Amino acid sequence: MSRIGASLCFVLFVLAVSPQLAAAGGTEFPGGGTRDIGRGATGFTRADDPTLMLRNPALLADLWDDQVMAGLNVLLVDSCFHASGGYGIGVMAPDVTLLGGQPVYLQAQPGSKDLKGNPIHGYLDEPYPNVCYQGPTPVFPSIAITKKLASNVGVGLGFFPPDSAALAQWGNRDGTVNTPNGVRPSPTRYFDSHLNVSYFSALGAIGYRPSDWLRIGAGFQWNVVAFSATSWARPTPDLAPHSDVRTEVFGRDLFIPGLIASAQLVPTDNLDIALGFKWSDRVDSKAKLDLTTGALGTGKQFTYIDPKGVMTTVPSSIPTTSPNQPGNVSAPPIWVPQLSMGVRYAQRLTPRVTTKNWQEAHAAAGADVQDHMATERWDIEANAIVYFNSFQNHIMLSEDAKNAAKVVLVDATAAGTTRLPSQVGTCTQRDANGQCVGQWQTPIELHGQNQVSLRLGGDYNILPGVFSVRAGVSYETDGADVGYLNVERYMLGRTGLHAGFTFRVAKKTDFSVGFAHFIQSDIRLDPKSGTDFSPKYQTPVFNVLPGKHDGVAALQLPVSNADGPIVNAGSFFYHLQVVSVTLSQHF
């Protein structure tokens, strides 16, 4: 018991210090624990290790003994987005921005010079660059402990982050991207330029076997999320980068409940049939907003010598921060509601242990663990999971109008400084004079759609009780409307190839390795008809290939109650591999 107590203390310590991304549902890849990943994510009906709590807590009743487990999923990601179009689209005013520590004049003509006589180069005719994921390698630790309270009752406590394939940073954190021609505003900045989420959860569960043919179980999960994010918006339809608004959001939700329930039938010794349901609440958070208008501005006018030798001055914006503005963030659930079904057939080496002979079987086994790894030659399992991704509708950032009115865009012009109201988003209510008296809301549309995940896999025990190998495949349908695809949440279909093994050391310690390679289609979205894509931009140079597409881009940037630009036209690719390792100790 002292070892169990020490292990529990270690579990609680790791739960307290493990930061993780918290976003799943449509972004959740077929995963689970290491053994699950190795067999096509089909560990739904097997009582192997504490990860079973994630989908089938009923099987806590069937674990052979007490266990402590620690695992790690590492995502190897290669993903890029090449937007269609170029920097000249939608720009109506002279633009000077501070890029890489230097002022850059967007519309500078060939032959222009700075005041020291050095050539300056504009980028009005440059196509948008390819922007790739530049965040840290996603790492998802899990840790848990289980205990047998009786021959037919088991309980568990664990920390399991979501198996999320969402990505958190594209280009540089400040909303720019490095190109061969110098630093440029990143075309992905209107999604998010940076996201950091600390995630804590505690899942407690119980499993009960009322008879030898039935197991039932339930779990309650308490989740906490603290986050900071940097995103960009537009106060006007003019796409001149110097008037961009940078929004830095800080928030937390200290209580996000989740529930898991399952039941498993055992019609015969060789057959298992299971059904499970999982639910998590939305993330609703009070937030602190630091709003910086003219965030890419130079802070003063820009003077240069034009190609005719005339000294010319053009305006720029003065970065102006309105700190500590109160707001609200509403985001989809950490896990969307999901229904799991599974069936498994096994070729057994010994009959199942019943509740009646449980104590006798344990006494006879001595130090040997008589789980599926020891009592079966092989098994094959098929799972189907329905993700109700319609709950992945949108992420909403909202701010009361009385606070938003304090935000202004400050420009440095020849006549001095000008101050203009700089609201972002859509007003929900206006008074008789047209003044906003409701909220300014900025949504990120996700348009999730219900998704089906099919999985097939199994184990083969080469040396029963010592060494097992496994393999499997998985397939998922699209989890979102392709027209709303964005770089953060690649919620489209994927096919997974899985493999792994477990080696049991000294009869009590299991070391498991799993690997999955996911195949996902490259996607091309055409610009929406009627957008500002003149014939100049309808060429492959600007990444526009009419007729060669998977859909039409529809993700729109809100611009103060006006129709903003479509920001997800272009080509996407997302390559994902997962490496997983777990150490599990039996007691």
524-572 pLDDT per residue, tens: 998 877 566 677 888 899 998 877 788 888 888 766 555 677 889 999 9
Tokens read off for 324: 């500590």
| Nearest Cα to Cα of residue 381 among 274, 287, 267, 292 | 274
| Nearest Cα to Cα of residue 404 among 295, 289, 319, 299 | 289
What contacts 350, CB < 8 A, 6 or more positions away? 370, 375
Amino acid at 228: S
pLDDT at 263: 98
CA gap 154, 63 in Å, rounded: 7
Mapped onto helix, strand or coil, the DSSP state of residue 62 is helix
The DSSP secondary structure of 79-124, one letter per residue, reads EEEEESSBTTTT--S--EEEETTEEEETTPPTT-B-TTS-B----T
Query: What homologous superfamily does CATH list for 2-100+112-586?
Result: Outer membrane protein transport protein (OMPP1/FadL/TodX) (2.40.160.60)
pLDDT at 433: 84
Instruction: Give, in order, the Cα–Cα distances in Å from 25 to each of 3, 447, 457, 468, 517.
Output: 36, 13, 22, 31, 19
CA gap 50, 67 in Å, rounded: 7
- Judge whether 403 and 291 are in contact, CB under 8 Å: no
pLDDT at 368: 92
Tokens read off for 13: 């310590």
Report pTM.
0.88
Q: Given the DSSP bridges, would you call strands 130-132 and 67-83 parallel, antiparallel or unpaired?
A: antiparallel
pLDDT at 21: 40
CA gap 374, 459 in Å, rounded: 11
CA gap 28, 75 in Å, rounded: 12
pLDDT at 18: 33
**Beta partners for residue 436, in sequence order:** 430
What contacts 191, CB < 8 A, 6 or more positions away? 170, 231, 444, 486, 487, 488, 567
Amino acid at 281: D
What contacts 131, CB < 8 A, 6 or more positions away? 80, 81, 82, 83, 170, 171, 177, 186, 187, 188, 487
Neighbour-count burial of 414, counting CB atoms closer than 10 A to its CB (0-12 exposed, 13-18 middle, 19+ buried): exposed
- Judge whether 176 and 167 are in contact, CB under 8 Å: no
Neighbours of 549 (CB within 10 A): 18
pLDDT tens string, the chain, 587 residues long: the values are 444 444 333 333 333 333 334 444 557 889 889 999 999 999 999 999 999 999 999 999 999 999 999 999 999 999 999 999 999 988 888 999 999 889 999 999 999 999 989 999 999 999 999 999 988 899 999 999 999 999 999 999 999 988 888 888 888 988 999 999 999 999 998 887 788 888 888 999 999 999 999 999 999 999 998 988 888 887 777 888 998 888 888 999 999 999 999 999 999 999 999 999 999 999 888 888 888 989 999 999 999 999 999 999 999 999 999 888 888 888 888 888 999 999 999 999 999 999 999 999 999 988 899 999 999 999 999 999 999 988 888 888 888 877 765 677 788 876 777 777 777 777 888 888 888 888 888 777 888 899 999 999 999 999 999 999 999 999 999 998 999 888 888 888 999 999 999 999 999 999 999 999 999 999 999 887 756 667 788 889 999 887 778 888 888 876 655 567 788 999 999 999 999 999 999 99
pLDDT at 42: 95
162-176 pLDDT per residue, tens: 888 888 888 898 899
b/e burial code for range 256-265 (CB count within 10 A of at least 16 → b): bebebbbbbe
| Nearest Cα to Cα of residue 534 among 113, 91, 133, 110 | 91
- Judge whether 302 and 416 are in contact, CB under 8 Å: no
Amino acid at 206: I
Amino acid at 229: A
pLDDT at 437: 83
b/e burial code for range 500-530 (CB count within 10 A of at least 16 → b): bbbebeeeeebebbbbbebebeebbbbbbee
